[in-house]
Amino acid sequence: MNPQDPPVHALTIGQALERLATDSGGLNSAEAGRRLDEHGPNRLPSPPRDGFLKRFARHFQDILILILIGAAGITAVLGHWLDTGVILGVVVINAIIGFIQEGKAEAALAGIRKMLSTHAQVLRDGRWQQIDAELLVPGDIARLKSGDRVPADLRLIETTNLSIEESALTGESVPSDKHSTPVAAEAGIGDRHDMAYSGTLVATGRGIGIVTATGARTEIGRINRLIAEVETLQTPLTRQMAVFSKQLSAIIVGLALLMLAIGIGLHDFPVGEVFLAAIGFAVAAIPEGLPAILTITLALGVQRMAQRNAITRKLTAVETLGSVTVICSDKTGTLTKNEMTARHVITRAGNYLVSGTGYAPQGDITLDGRLVELAGHAHLHALIEVVAIANDTHVAEAEGQWRVAGEPTEGALRTLAHKAGFSGDSHTRHATIPFESANKFMATLASTPAGLQRILLKGAPDRLLDRCAEELGADGHTVPLDRAWWEREIDRLSREGLRVLAAAARRVDAGRRHLSIDDLDSGMVFLGLVGIIDPPRPEAIQAIASCRAAGIRVKMITGDHAGTAHAIGIEMGIGGAESLKVVSGPELEAADDAQLRQIVRDCDIFARTSPEHKLRIVKALQANGEVVAMTGDGVNDAPALKRADVGVAMGIKGTEATKEAAEIVLADDNFSSIERAVEEGRTIYDNLQKAILFILPTNGAQGLVMLVAVVFGLTLPLTPVQILWVNMVVAITLALALAFEPAEPGVMERPPRRPGTPILDNLLMGRVLLVSLLIGGATLVMFEIELHFGMPLDIARTMAVNTLVIAQACYLFNSRFLKTSSLRLSLLFTNGAAWLATGILLLLQLGFVYLPFMHTWFGTAPLAARHWLVPMMIGLLVFLLIEAEKVVVGHLVRR
């Protein structure tokens, strides 16, 4: 197609047939085969997938892990095979943990492929036949009926009461009525009423259309390409850890080279011994247990989030939620229930308000604040009778949820009748004029329990007003129709984002059994209006308020109309002002990237958006430095979900494509679960911060001991395998206990941390340095004093290991609270895991000291009881000094 040619939805039927080189009789088999060779099968291409080994190898790409692998290589060259085995064992264990926990990360395209129809009714060789949908080609004539999934993109040429559920593509709450009349070339996908798109679902009626696009060229194929082309960003945690790893690696390598230079040049140590000391320093300084601690902490967070109905597909997404600054949410099915609900009934007797949401028949009808009974309100009874009897839809409870069988808007009217206590079982229907998009009404001829026969008419207000000359007045008598008054009420309801339907009726002679459109041209009495909306989830309103209190902006991005989006936004408290501007798709289309960055700063509601618009909005927010969570349930949300820092999909009503593009899936489709997940994410980040703050002094103290020993030509207090023992037992037991810390008070009352903020601020890094000096210095002094008084080297080294381990165990209780005192009896036992970990550590350390095979592996020796006292005293002293540091620093900060 020439780019200047109008799109197919803007062409007449004749022009569309001509462009696709076909006619209403369809293609023959030979031509269809030729076109199949030219265009390929009607399926989406499968993306290449990394193999098992490549995915496993990705877990060795951290620079600190690479340094450890290098250290293992050097120890192997030097013939220290035990050291080599222990170092490589730690590296492989870390990689296995990461590989298992991450699971599969890329299956969004497979989810979209599942949406495609498997069979199609096609006109080939002059007769209708069923074929595999993959064999459809452009120019085929295909047939649709209620319940079918559309097999390809079609330009409709015939329709009979056809409506198609397109919410997965457009975000609209109700099925789109279809016809064969061309629409404007610039019409958005939700306004192309002469098109049926691949993967959408026929709600009612029948239709015939020309296949205009297949496979990757369809609208769903275009979204598929968008997902494939979207670049995913690193999470804040991975960015921070990457920076931290590079900085730490540079320092470690630099100091190790300095040790080599000093050991060889200044002290003339043997080269092999100096290399082993440098490796010992590197192993001591690298927190090799940190990747495992991060992974396990995140995995525990995943389990806790699952208990709160948030299923996590990617570990780092748990923590990223804690740093989110903006949540972009789809409207339909996310902020709202995607269940149409009658809110207002307008008659000349007054404006009746209807409570309750969704299809559950639970709620009240009130007038001026007073509960009403149907028997005492003739106006309401007359209107309810129409919407209940002229209605082919049913609602029923299944598996604890009320579901609609039929058209959603009629489902809302059926539920309204149930709330009013009107069943209609005693009425008898004799004839019906079904709803058609050309007429926009439905009429029924029915007998009432009193034996009266009435024509009951419901439909679009303008169509009914055209057919009525009278209305049911306030006194219960018919009076001339005041059309201007009704149009003002229709406009008022429409401005509030409600879909408006009208009801009318008239009596006819008893015994009639037929009904025609001509019977509706005279005598109809206008009864009133019903305002219907896809209601907000009540719990989502509270969740949005909580997000605002936590400093998180919520933006609504929907494919629905601007008026509906504005009304829902006000009701949900998004933006907070009735004058809040709603930005529509055409405005987004016209804005360049710089203008869009300003728009997303100023505006919180976006309507009539396409998948590309949603993706651009997310990118613009990220360009402004925001950490973005995107929620949604339709295929049209999938590209933006994949690009967002955290993609959140709805588990019940979400499409497979959306779930697979997301990092987090909400099992209950509840927006409030996002707010709880953000709270969990912040708690997890706090616990990661505590774990890093705790584990770094272990490495700092050991690194200091090794560095000072080499620089000053002293005996090495620790061997590389002893260092690994300390690192691993401290990480596996003590650091892991911090993952179980409960949320700090006020965790959802503080603003999100700013992107780019280091994991540990200057004050906390100062504490790491202080604890490293205290523990490392005490260990070195104790080791030198014991050697001076003639203690054997293996016993002195065993005492050095004990000093490091016990001091870290005491420091664990400092680290449970970052900046507040740990000397509070009420909080001492809130984390039982800390005490359990300390007990396990003590058992491991007893085995390290007294088991003979441990002596062989690690070069240790048994200690006398008195040898435990000094490490315990050092540990207690470290604890008290750090508590004093918290008090002093806190006082200085408050000043």
Task: Report the C-alpha gap between 274 and 413 in whole angstroms.
Answer: 85
Does residue 472 contact residue 525 with C-beta atoms inside 8 Å? yes
Tokens 């207090």 sit on residue: 717
DSSP result, 490-516: HHHHHHTT-EEEEEEEEEE-TT-----
As beta bridge partners, residue 499 has 532
The phi-psi region of residue 128 (left if phi > 0; otherwise alpha if psi is between -120 and 50; otherwise beta) is beta
Task: List residues bridging with 208 in a β-sheet.
Answer: 143, 158
Q: Which of helix, strand or coil describes residue 302?
A: helix
User: Which of 281, 223, 136, 69 has the alpha carbon at shortest distance from 705?
Assistant: 281
Distance between CA atoms of residues 319 and 218, nearest Å:
37
- For residue 749, what is the DSSP state? S
For residue 350, the surrounding DSSP H or E stretch is strand 350-354
CA distance 230 to 183: 31
Distance (Å, rounded) from C-alpha 158 to C-alpha 843? 80
Burial class (CB in 10 A: 0-12, 13-18, 19+), 354: buried
Catalytic member of 330, 604, 637, 645: 330
Return the HEC string of 628-656: EEEEECCHHHHHHHHHCCEEEEECCCCCH
- Can you tell me the distance from the alpha carbon of 735 to that of 722, in angstroms, rounded to the nearest whole number? 18
Handedness of CA 12, 17, 23, 27 (dihedral sign): negative
Q: Which two structure tokens, joined as six digits, stand for 546?
A: 């909580």
Strand partners, 530: 345, 501
Contact by Cβ (8 Å): 15, 185: no
Do residues 194 and 155 make contact, with C-beta atoms less than 8 angstroms apart? yes
| 330 noted as active-site residue | yes
**Cα–Cα distance between 866 and 140 in angstroms, integer?**
91
Report the C-alpha dihedral over residues 146, 148, 154, 160, rounded to 10 degrees: -10
Distances (CA, A) of 398 to 322, 341, 402, 422, 425: 37, 19, 6, 21, 22
Please give the Cα distance from 477 to 344 (Å, whole number).
22
Q: What's the Cα-to-Cα distance from 108 to each of 112, 429, 629, rounded to whole Å? A: 7, 48, 18
Active site residues: 330
